[in-house]
Structure 1
Amino acid sequence: MKIKRKIEIAVISDVHLGSYGCHAKHLLNYLNSIEPKKLILNGDIIDVWQFNKGYFPKSHLKIIKKIMNMSADGVEIIYITGNHDELLRKFTDTSVGNISIVNKLVLELHGKKAWFFHGDVFDISIQNTKWLAKFGSYGYQVLTLLNRLINWYLERRGQERYSFSKKVKNNVKTAVKYIRDFEKVISNLAIENGYDYVICGHIHLPKMEYVENKHGKTIYLNSGDWVENFTALEYQFKRWKIYHYSKDKLSPFYVDEELEDMDLKDLIAAITIVEQHEKKVKKN
């Protein structure tokens, strides 16, 4: 039996299930390799903006089933809503067994305060011109699909993967300024409110940075995404680290045999099992 890595908290965000850019198989490998006490889904897990009835592969369904199974096994699942899954904000502060839906979260970790949220509330382009942000999202989707085709070709030739969108973000001055402003506003606000850690997603840029100003200090953390970077945040032994799937691959576990032939009926069955488990717990 393979031993999974035990960690206190795992944080993933910007998975974008239901979109062409999502690398669900990589994420499933990662989830199969860990045994967290808490799994924090920090927004944009399901991409409602890009949702298409004709496109929701089995690999995407397997992620949902895996999360349900983790919940049934006693893992606390905290779903923090984002802009792409904002429809779930109707269910804020709702809990079903070990799964809860919130807009933000504050935890005390060994005497330090950690503030979790997705990050879209600090994005002016979304707050003021949502239609433009959605239009940009469709453009990003097309770019991502093109990028996947090119990377398929590069991998067949044994060459390194290439990311168009990451290249654009790293080189366009406006994009760089936007990211720096985003990080600065969030970090300053965390310091102002006395948070030792501030953890977000949204901008698809994994990062861990110590920030200090005249009012105090904090550690800014971003969980990145599972579209380009394949990253997560992990908390264990009183410290945070960024997990890079492509670099770390610490004991990766591949798709469980029981998940191999899963379809929508299996997903419904998994949800039913979770509900039955919760009823037994309540009776006891």
Structure 2
Amino acid sequence: MNIQLSPHKKVFFASDFHLGAPDHHTSKKREDKIIRWLHEIEDDAAAIFLVGDIFDFWFEYKTVIPKGFIKFISKISQLRDKGIPVIFFTGNHDLWMKDYFTEELGIPVYHTPITVEINHKKLLIGHGDGLGPGDKQYKLLKKVFTNKFCQGLFRWLHPDIGIRIAQKWSGSSRISNQAKNEDAFKGKDEWLWQYCKDVEKKMHFDYYVFGHRHLPLSLEVGDQSMYYNLGEWVSQYTYGVFDGDNFQLAIFEE
């Protein structure tokens, strides 16, 4: 993917909205805030990358999608109607995205990191789950969740049952991670940072942009490379912006 920025245009990045969590009321307030942010940036946006875990749970049956999020979906539909590219990535909570957003709104959905060139700067962009060393249990679980046969079996469940089961598991997973202090900075053991360093040894990128960790991070990968983690929108409301020359993290404050 190659993007050439016009004067005064920027590319925006955000991840981990976790729409739907932890309850309907809280999620609706967050959804409204996200929509206000999208409205604020749309005049400057050359493209918007939504880098995974946009939904706390998402599963596409052949003829059914999860209820809710209509205001958010309407807003990104408006952005597409204005000609602004919107790019989705799946995360570990919404990895069952298929072709709904692509067919209905013309939004590409990526399941693995991709290379993007913006004004001759090279970026590697992805959600980040399952990358780097360690976390063998999750990597095994992800193979099961992304297996077409296993997904087919899940589709045999009535949506009222299947979505309820998945939402309960999603909430338990999030609570479990908080209890284990998974969101704390791990220093030299910060595994996505290590992943970026390993990639940089083989191929140069100016910027590595990921989500998943729920930590806004700006860390050097090499003399000419930086790793940015976009943080989350449950409590921090952080996002990334690139003007063609510089990448920076920002906070949406009202």
TM-score where L is the length of structure 2: 0.68
Highest Rg: 1 or 2?
1
1: CA distance between counterparts of 2:127 and 2:192? 12
> Residue by residue, what CA displacement relative to the aligned partner does 1:45-68 show, whole Å, maximum 9, x if unpaired?
1222699x9x966xx431111111
Q: Tell me which amino acid in the other structure corresponds to 1:99.
A: I
Partner of 1:73: 82
2: CA distance between counterparts of 1:237 and 1:96? 30
Q: Tell me which amino acid in the other structure corresponds to 2:50.
A: L
2: CA distance between counterparts of 1:143 and 1:80? 24
Partner of 1:274: none
Query: Pairwise CA RMSD of aligned residues?
Result: 3.6
Partner of 2:194: 184
2: CA distance between counterparts of 1:92 and 1:83? 18
Alignment of 1:88-107 (within 5 A): 88=97, 90-91=98-99, 98-103=106-111, 104-107=113-116
Alignment of 1:41-190 (within 5 A): 41-48=50-57, 60-88=69-97, 90-91=98-99, 98-103=106-111, 104-122=113-131, 124-129=136-141, 137-139=170-172, 141=174, 165=178, 168-169=181-182, 176=186, 180-190=190-200
Local SS of the residue matching 1:120: coil
Local SS of the residue matching 2:96: helix
Change (3 A) 1:107 1:237: closer
2: CA distance between counterparts of 1:63 and 1:85? 15
2: CA distance between counterparts of 1:41 and 1:138? 21
Q: Tell me which amino acid in the other structure corresponds to 2:108.
A: S
Q: Tell me which amino acid in the other structure corresponds to 1:106.
A: T
1: CA distance between counterparts of 2:242 and 2:136? 30
Is it true that 1:201 corresponds to 2:211 in the alignment? Answer: yes
Change (3 A) 1:10 1:93: same
Q: Whose helix fraction is larger, Structure 1's or Structure 2's?
A: 1
- Contact 1:187–1:198 (CA under 8 A) maintained in structure 2: no
- Contact 1:92–1:101 (CA under 8 A) maintained in structure 2: no
Unaligned runs of 5+ in 1: 1-5, 145-164, 253-284
Alignment of 1:178-257 (within 5 A): 180-212=190-222, 217-245=224-252, 249=253, 252=254
Report how many residues are paired: 209
Change (3 A) 1:191 1:32: farther
Q: CA deviation at 1:98?
A: 4.4
Local SS of the residue matching 1:192: coil
Q: CA deviation at 1:184?
A: 1.6
2: CA distance between counterparts of 1:129 and 1:206? 26
Partner of 2:14: 12
TM-score where L is the length of structure 1: 0.62
> Residue by residue, what CA displacement relative to the aligned partner does 1:85-114 show, whole Å, maximum 9, x if unpaired?
1112x4499566642122332221222211
- Contact 1:207–1:223 (CA under 8 A) maintained in structure 2: yes
Q: Which runs of 4+ in 1 moved over 6 A?
A: none
Q: Tell me which amino acid in the other structure corresponds to 2:110.
A: V
Q: CA deviation at 1:138?
A: 2.6
Unaligned runs of 5+ in 2: 1-7, 145-165
Identity of aligned residues (%): 25
